């Protein structure tokens, strides 16, 4: 997923203080969207569970996504 709407979603996620679980399974999130999501996760301090099964980024550069989102 690489769209303006997903960018807006990631911006909102970065500042969200109430969400603790998020299921993004099967959303065609690619390496571009994964990079945006990783940046948002670095700023989000409340999310504790994230479902990412069946996304494109899991088959390409997934270790980079997880590494960058956990830093």
> What's the pLDDT tens digit per position in 8-49?
999 999 999 999 999 999 998 888 888 899 899 999 999 999
The pTM of this model reads 0.77
Position 52 confidence tier, pLDDT thresholds 50, 70, 90: confident
C-alpha triplet 42, 43, 46: angle, nearest 5°: 100
Select the more confidently predicted residue: 31 or 59: 31
Q: How far is it, in rounded angstroms, from Cα 13 to Cα 37?
A: 8
How many residues in total does the chain contain? 71
């Amino acid at each position: 997923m690489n769209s303006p709407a997903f960018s807006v979603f990631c911006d909102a996620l970065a500042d969200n203080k109430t969400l603790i679980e998020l299921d993004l399974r099967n959303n065609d999130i690619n390496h571009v969207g994964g990079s945006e999501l990783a940046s948002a996760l670095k700023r989000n301090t409340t999310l504790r569970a994230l479902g990412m099964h069946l996304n494109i980024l899991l088959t390409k550069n997934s270790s980079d996504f997880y590494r960058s989102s956990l830093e």
